[in-house]
Structure 1
């Protein structure tokens, strides 16, 4: 087997595990909400911890991009990522819960930066586009995580044992992947953040990932709650499961779609699917219409972030790793404002009406993608 194929498998393993861990957390948010007897607003406060912790990591991640190749920080973060889930499963103390969520979020930032840095470097070894497929594997890992959670709920296995199994799988997979990940890939230039007027190219990519992150992160954090509280389904992971299925399908096909219709039209298509899906979920809060709506949202939101990270490699001002680190900060701001704001709006109005926030963000992808592609012309 060629070395580049082994490297692709190892990196795919990391993407899979990252998605698996994240969906294991997201699908258990209703469990945490019940265990700690949290209101929607209080759950919003807990979710606010994640982007705050990730923002605190901005200078650290920038320093790591400039100082290290991607392999060691990536795998070390994967190990702490899994360990934080174990703590989430066993704690009954709210302070420890907040600390575990903070570590989980910080590690997720580091993982995303260095995984995507590796994809851009590895893409250069292949003639066909492969970046979208990595994000498809992330979604597949997420799908596996929520399917595993659904099975756990069906079998009435404890939350603690569920998190122990997820942590064990993560440790074994991350250590196995370590030996074939790319090494010595630190960029020699473009590793310092330059203060002053924002680079327009990075700025528009950042705005796009902001809106996409509000939609994607909000769906991760609130889809299970929506199905439990609004659709009133006992197996509340079904909506999240459906969303993840169609995210995975979209990401695996996104490279071919982009090659066929172009990246700009792909943004328009994604925005349209998000808007139609959210509208369906809000107007028809019943089992089958909601599943259809979640399917459309998954199809729409899936391709946006991979397209943005792909474009980050075209930056003339920054290295791929630094561009991803800066752009990721905009995405974190989307997560900072999105899911907690949904909680606050749900407390004031209702969870159905709070989902209008996602519709607005879907619409905004169109004008800002137009501005981005003017810079290419």
Structure 2
């Protein structure tokens, strides 16, 4: 049985998971921000970079599957030590591959470890975040995801500075990896050992827990929450990969304006993740998701049809704000039942991640046939689907978060 934690232990635990979210975002953005330099150092082309991204994406999907097994076998706390080592180690290997040996193959190996470690850590930190949220009895999941967003913004900003100052890819990535591993592994010391996330379980119950982990895929609620996350993961992932191109090719603006648009999107998203918790606690998870799916859809339509740049930017801000809470609230809903939290969060994350990783390349292929702005209508349809599925996020009986309270 889980022991009741003191207030200071709860706060330390929350701080530890905030830190892990932030460093995972920072580590990932550190690598992503150096792609132009990676391309040059390895002497490869866009297709070569695409293959590297595909390798990390494929490894990430393997990591999601493994995360479930790791949580059942060793628990979330011990599991995160291993997956953070894989993630940080992968970043270190990429540094060697890109700049020291100029080896495409070694870089690919590093990316496989990065993808695997990042996605598996992602599931476990979300399982822990959901447990923190239930312990506090308040909606905190959007705030955890805000820390991830802040980590990516800081990581990208540092990456821009490193490129401007001609700092080598290896030195930059090794420093980032040291920060990820140092802060991440120190934080785990503050994470309490708890039976409900499998940190200490008798061996006999493991087989039952594997069965339970597979059973969530037969639960219609898992798929409905997956539909919410699928639409919003598409809305978020497509902006990260295609918004700058849509501004340049679709609206005929400069590359600098494309970068500004992406910044507007990221800021809107981060701000709404910081403010989202109190809103959910006021009006409830379902209504928050419905309102935001309308905002995202309207924003995206404004962006597609925008006659002028200011209107396009207002559309981008609404699109970012609207897409901000689908993923975290989907995770939160998946974790409502503590007995199934690890398995359900892993399943929901898998559906969201597959959309995040596979969506952008599919959109790229479609946009070659019909143009980028026309392709974005597909995202409008997926956002509508996400809004229609919002009812699935209704908290189950006994859950302490997400119901809202009307005054």
TM-score w.r.t. structure 1 length?
0.85
2:182 counterpart residue number: 172
- Which has more radius of gyration? 2
Matched with 2:111 is 101
Equivalent residue, structure 2, for 1:279: 301
How far does the alpha carbon of each residue in 1:288-341 deviate from its partner, in whole angstroms, 9 at most, with x for none?
Answer: 55544432222111111111111112248x521111111122113213430211
State yes or no: 1:221 paired with 2:211.
Answer: no
The residue number in structure 2 matching 1:144 is 154
In structure 2, the partner of 1:210 is 230
Distance apart, 1:122 and its partner CA: 2.0
CA distance in 1, matches of 2:107, 2:29: 17
Question: Do 2:230 and 2:386's aligned partners in 1 also have CA atoms closer than 8 Å?
Answer: no
Q: Which of 30, 36, 39 is equivalent to 1:24?
A: 30
Question: Is contact 1:147–1:241 with CA below 8 Å preserved after alignment?
Answer: no
Counterparts in 2 of 1:256 and 1:191: CA distance versus 1, 3 Å: farther
1:234 is displaced (CA, Å) by 4.9
Q: Mark the CA change 1:165 to 1:239 in structure 2 (over 3 Å): closer, same or farther.
A: farther
User: Would the alpha carbon gap of residues 326 and 98 (structure 1) be closer, same or farther in structure 2, given more than 3 Å must change?
Assistant: same
The CA deviation at 1:228 is 7.1
Secondary structure of the 2:139 match is: coil
The question of whether the paired residues in 2 share the 8 Å contact of 1:26 and 1:221 is answered with no
- Please name the residue that 2:123 is paired with: 113
**Distance in 1 between the 2:50 and 2:231 partners?**
18
Q: How many residues align?
A: 375
Q: Which residue of 2 aligns with 1:128?
A: 138
Residue of 157, 162, 165 corresponding to 2:167: 157
C-alpha distance after superposition, 1:48-97 (max 9, x if no partner)? 33442233234422211111121222133223223323443442444334
**Residues 1:82 and 2:88 aligned together:** yes
State the distance in 1 between where 2:372 and 2:381 align.
Answer: 15
Q: Which runs of 5+ in 2 are unaligned?
A: 1-6, 202-207, 398-402
Q: Distance in 2 between matches of 1:315 and 1:281?
A: 39
Residues 274 and 362 in structure 1, CA contact (< 8 A), matched pair in contact too? yes
Q: For the residues of structure 2 that align with 1:30 and 1:224, how far apart are their CA atoms? A: 15
Within 5 A, what are the aligned runs for 1:189-208? 190-192=209-211, 193-194=213-214, 198-208=218-228
1:294 to 316, 319, 338: 316
- TM-aligned CA deviation for residue 37 of structure 1: 4.8
Q: Report the alpha carbon displacement of residue 110 of structure 1 after superposing the two structures with TM.
A: 1.0
Deviations 1:14-54 (A, max 9, x none): 01111212233344445556665534x66555443344223
- For residue 101 of structure 1, give the secondary structure of its aligned residue in structure 2: helix
Structure 2 residue aligned with 1:263 = 285
Q: Does the CA-based 8 Å contact 2:77-2:191 persist in structure 1?
A: yes
Moved more, 74-83 or 27-36: 27-36
SS in 1 for 2:135: coil
Larger RCO, structure (CA 8 Å, separation 6 or more): 1
Summarize the Cα distance change of 1:265–1:174 in structure 2 as closer, same or farther, 3 Å threshold: same
Q: Rate the CA distance shift 1:51–1:45 in 2: closer, same or farther, 3 A.
A: same
User: What is residue 3 of structure 2 aligned with on the other side?
Assistant: none
- Which deviates the most, 304-313 or 161-170? 161-170
Q: In the alignment, is residue 38 of structure 1 matched against residue 50 of structure 2?
A: no
SS of match in other structure, 1:128: coil
Between stretches 285-294 and 56-65, larger displacement belongs to 285-294
Q: In 1, Cα distance between the equivalents of 2:304 and 2:379? A: 11
Evaluate the alpha carbon distance shift between residue 43 and residue 364 of structure 1 in structure 2; reply closer, same or farther with a 3 A threshold: farther
CA–CA distance in structure 2, aligned partners of residues 88 and 63 of structure 1: 27
Cα distance in structure 1, aligned partners of 2:49 and 2:379: 18
- Alpha-carbon spacing, 1:375–1:78, altered in 2? closer, same or farther (3 Å): closer
Decide whether aligned partners of structure 1 residues 289 and 259 sit closer, same or farther in structure 2, where only a CA change above 3 A counts.
same
| Number of the residue aligned with 2:4 | none
Moved more, 270-279 or 25-34: 25-34
Return the TM-score normalized by structure 2: 0.80
Compute the displacement of 1:175 (Å). 2.7
